[in-house]
A and B are shown apart, each in its own frame.
Chain A
Amino acid sequence: MAWTWFHRLGSSPWVYRFSGTLLRFLLPLAIAMIVLGCIWGIAFTPPDFRQGNSYRIIYIHVPVSVVSLAGYYVMAVAGAVSLIWRLKVADMAMRVAAPIGAVLTFLALLTGAVWGKPTWGTFWVWDARITSMVVLLFLYLGVFALYEAFDNKTLASKACAILSLVGTVNIPIIYKSVDWWYSLHQPASIKFTGESTIDPSMLYPLLWMIVAVYLLYACLLLLGLRVTLLESEAKTAWARKVVMEVK
């Protein structure tokens, strides 16, 4: 019936094969979309009347910021699924999501700093939203560090699942912080309700890039998942067969 897909997730060889098929389409699509989106953003959008060309980093900065925040939810939901249904795949997804999310958050901070220099005149401002992103980075690093601290990896992933669920409390505060504290950072430009304050000619490539980075995130997650699957089942026949075929 409709729920059989869920039970299949319990079978490592099936997940490995399925993710392989999925990646065959997703990975080229993600790469193509990112390349096209970058060209679109750099060459075919008008310069900003105040920031000139420097604003174009928005096509990297905003997508990685959005996905790094969403990535925490992916991690927490995967953690919850692994706690509730003891699903090994969810457990691995959570583990893989932590470093990917940390790198994306770091990229968001880095591109923000690069963008901040020409527009605000400084690399770093202790603004509410930037601070929240630093907090997010440490939340990711905390999950990563907690996992590494345990020798017993079954315990480690359970503890990490709890920690990431507790950490989800902070994500709404990150979003809300924009409203809580007024500072140098401009208010959010994309609004889901009401008029956007960004011109459509700049908005469409931005939305395109957000979708592209989401796809890239999915690909990275799947790639990491496949490696972890092979690693943790290195002694089984199917994993040996896969590795031998690649050789």
Chain B
Amino acid sequence: MSHSVFGKILVRQLLLAYRRPAAVLNPLFFFGVVVLLMPLGLGPKQTVLAEFAPGLLWITALLAALLSAEMLFRSDYDDGGLEQLVVSDDSLYLASLGYIVAHWCLTGLPLALFSPVFGQLLALPAEGYLALATSLALGTFVLSAFGCVGASLTVALRRGGMLLSLLLLPLEVPVLILGAGVVERAINGMPIDSLLSILAGLALLAAALTPVAIGTSIKISLEV
């Protein structure tokens, strides 16, 4: 696997993150500090928090994915790494997929794994834990894919932050609705298979199509 450009990019991104562990923890810290704000803003009543927990956790995940997306291509753009990638005869499609999967491994996956802890803090009923983790794992992949699209479109701009949210949040609305819906349904004891399937479908669709958009946008941003 590590012979293809997909594996190379993936391993490289993970290695870069491993060498700067604080950066890996940032999304988790961000998630934690936003969760801390919720009871401060809404009041500490367990029943109130439990009612809003699915939506709050999902919105927080959305913001975490959004904020981490901005710097995705920045250093590779600045040091010419992206240019080398484009002029090499490696597939830009596979490379883009590598960036998406790496971003997901570093933001979405940890959030999904630690989500029961945050669920506990917001008094999420126990039935919702598995649904929250599964929906986050699937949904954040879509968020990473869209994040890469947005980052590749705005990498040539110096002040992309606000713009990136305006571009990405409307596209991510269906993921939020489905993701929070899954948790909501699980808490109410309803079957969640159908909604999870739709989320998984969106993730596959994103994996198949967004690398095309990302590859093209990288080329556009580099003016080649």
Contact = CB atoms under 8 A, between A and B. Distances in A.
B167 A163 contact: yes
Contacts of A138: 166, 169-170
Interface in B97-152: 146, 149
A141 interface: yes
B96 interface: no
Contacts of B163: 145-146, 149
Given A165-B213, A166-B210, A155 B156 contact: yes
Contacts of A107: none
A158 B222 CA distance: 12
Contacts of B89: none
B221 interface: yes
B174 A173 contact: yes
A105 to B, nearest CB: 12
A212 to B, nearest CB: 29
A91 to B, nearest CB: 13
A173 B175 CA distance: 11
Contact of B170 (A155, A162, A170): A170
B13 interface: no
Contacts of A163: 153, 167
Contacts of A139: 170-171
Interface size class of A (residues with CB under 8 A): 20 to 34
B216 interface: yes
Nearest to A158: B220
Given A141-B166, A155-B221, A162-B220, A170 B213 contact: no
Contacts of A158: 220
B171 A149 contact: no
B79 interface: no
Contacts of A170: 170-171, 173-174
Interface in A11-49: none
Contacts of B159: 149
A150 interface: yes
B220 A155 contact: yes
B70 to A, nearest CB: 14
Contact of B216 (A145, A162, A167, A173): A162
B157 interface: yes
A170 B170 CA distance: 9
Given A131-B173, A135-B173, A146-B167, 10 more contacts: A83-B216, A138-B169, A146-B153, A149-B154, A149-B163, A155-B221, A155-B223, A158-B220, A166-B146, A166-B210
